[in-house]
Amino acid sequence: MAAEMRAMTRQLTAVPSGSRFDQAFLTAMTAHHKMAVMEASTVPGRASHSQLTALAWQIIAAQNREIAQMTSWLHTWYHMPA
């Protein structure tokens, strides 16, 4: 996973500043957040500590809110499908 994060960062640093960067960043972060939701979704019903389960639910909720915000911006600013 660390290698994937470094690769994503390298790809983003290669994108010129401005709207092309904004779109690339939002697209990459949306995918990244979706992975976080998938990973956190494995916790409820499997973790032995209730605090970990609570944290997983918080991650799921926060990441889903941010996915919705980024998807909305991609749709509004770049006419990408919502």
**pLDDT digit string, tens, across residues 57-73:** 999 999 999 999 999 99
23 or 1, greater pLDDT:
23
pTM, two decimal places: 0.89
Note the Cα 45 to chain centre separation in Å: 23
Confirm whether 71 is domain-assigned: yes
Single-letter residue type at 31: A
What integer pLDDT is reported at residue 58 of this predicted model?
98
Rounded to whole angstroms, how far apart are CA atoms 76 and 68? 12
Residue 31 exposure: Cα atoms within 13 Å on the Cβ side: 8
**Domain count for the chain:** 1
Single-letter residue type at 38: M
Confirm whether 52 is domain-assigned: yes
Rounded to whole angstroms, how far apart are CA atoms 75 and 31? 15
What integer pLDDT is reported at residue 30 of this predicted model?
96
**Which residues, in sequence order, are CB contacts of 75 under 8 Å at separation 6+?**
81, 82
pLDDT in tens, 8-55: 899 999 999 999 999 999 999 999 999 999 999 999 999 999 999 999
- Residue span of the structural domain in which 62 resides: 44-82
Confirm whether 26 is domain-assigned: no
